[in-house]
Structure 1
Amino acid sequence: MQKVTILCVGKLKERFYADAVAEYVKRLSRFCKLEIQELPEARLSESPSPAEIEQALSEEAARVESKLPKSGAVIALCIEGQELSSPALAETLNGFAVSGASQLTFLIGGSVGLHPSLKAKADLKLSMSPMTFPHHLARVMLLEQIYRAYQIQAGSRYHK
């Protein structure tokens, strides 16, 4: 069974997001061993300077890097990433598995995104859309798309 880890900067606070995450965690348990790790988000002032943002991204990147597995594929969610259809994502994730990546690690940054060093380490930079979403909603959307990818691979009617 493939292991899927989602490293998230920031904690879910809203109950409706937590409920949606719990539902997809339950659904995904049939397909993979899922782990979600929440890492602290750096605190920023109301109007942070570019230097403050860089410092925050560096701090968050250090925390993320300390949790990265030694092997497997790393997928960074970022707006400049590749946009994939659900079937294309299913094919891509399957391709990682076929190539021997028994571990998939998805990275979701905090409110100011991911440090460029993390994006550079990624085997895939993935964009959900050119639109901007709250990172908590991105977590729910990612879980749904991972679930959909497994359903597509299984030939289920869920995707239709």
Structure 2
Amino acid sequence: MRVHICAVGRLRAGPEKSLIDDYLTRFDRTGRALGLGPARVVEVEDKKNAGQGAEADLLRKALPKGAVICTLDERGKVLTSPEFANKLGGWRDSGRQDLALIIGGADGIDPSLRAQADASISFGKMVWPHMLVRVMLSEQIYRAATILAGSPYHRA
């Protein structure tokens, strides 16, 4: 199952990009034997600053056809890392070819796109900068693969 991190905004070179690239490379290596991957980041940008609705339209165009849609949203379900790994494994085992993990812009995700989602997860009640969410999500994707592989990376 291919993993697509679909995010509003462009990430420039820097520490966040280096971390994302590192975690996604690790995920690709670990996930390959598990039927997971590759992972990629798809960026969309609302250059006209038309708001959530325009961002949602751009995100919808970036979604692979038939993908599982999972939003990252403060209203979503808070999962443990093993619960997230099980969810990822379940989506893979259901035969879905693609998973789209959606990160909205500064104002969040348009309600119509949230309503379209198969699932919504949260990294807690705090609001995180969307660039940091990309890093945290990339690490959790890698961690999920290590959990599914039985690797000692996750020590909970």
TM-score by length of 2: 0.91
Give the 3-state SS of the residue equivalent to 1:29 in structure 2: helix
Stretches of structure 2 that go unaligned for 5 or more consecutive residues are 32-36
Deviation at 1:13, TM superposition (A): 3.0
Deviation at 1:102, TM superposition (A): 2.2
Give the 3-state SS of the residue equivalent to 1:112 in structure 2: coil
Matched, 1:26 2:25: yes
Matches within 5 A, 1:114-153: 114-153=109-148
Give the 3-state SS of the residue equivalent to 1:138 in structure 2: helix
Q: Is the 8 A contact 1:42 1:56 kept in 2?
A: no
Deviation at 1:14, TM superposition (A): 5.8
Distance 1:80 1:57 in 2: 16
Deviation at 1:25, TM superposition (A): 2.0
Matched, 1:79 2:71: no
1:5-31 CA deviation, whole Å, 9 max, x = no partner? Answer: 111101113611111111112112211
Matched, 1:38 2:43: yes
Runs of 4+ in 1 over 3 A off after TM superposition: 41-44
Decide which of 55, 59, 70 is 1:60's aligned counterpart. Answer: 55
Deviation at 1:77, TM superposition (A): 0.4
Distance 1:88 1:78 in 2: 17
1:35-60 CA deviation, whole Å, 9 max, x = no partner? Answer: 2111114565xxxxxxxxxx500110
Q: Is the 8 A contact 1:10 1:40 kept in 2?
A: yes
RMSD: 1.3
Q: Which moved more, 1:90-99 or 1:137-146?
A: 90-99
Q: Give the paired residue count.
A: 149
Q: Is the 8 A contact 1:78 1:125 kept in 2?
A: yes
1:83-124 CA deviation, whole Å, 9 max, x = no partner? Answer: 000000001111111111121110000111110111111111
Q: Is the 8 A contact 2:68 2:96 kept in 1?
A: yes
Query: Looking at CA atoms only, which structure, 1 or 2, has the larger radius of gyration?
Result: 1
Query: In percent, how many aligned pairs have the same letter?
Result: 38
Kindly tell me: are residues 134 and 41 of structure 1, through their superposed partners in 2, closer, same or farther at Cα, counting changes over 3 Å? farther
Give the 3-state SS of the residue equivalent to 1:149 in structure 2: helix
TM-score by length of 1: 0.88
Distance 2:145 2:18 in 1: 21
Q: Is the 8 A contact 2:24 2:142 kept in 1?
A: no
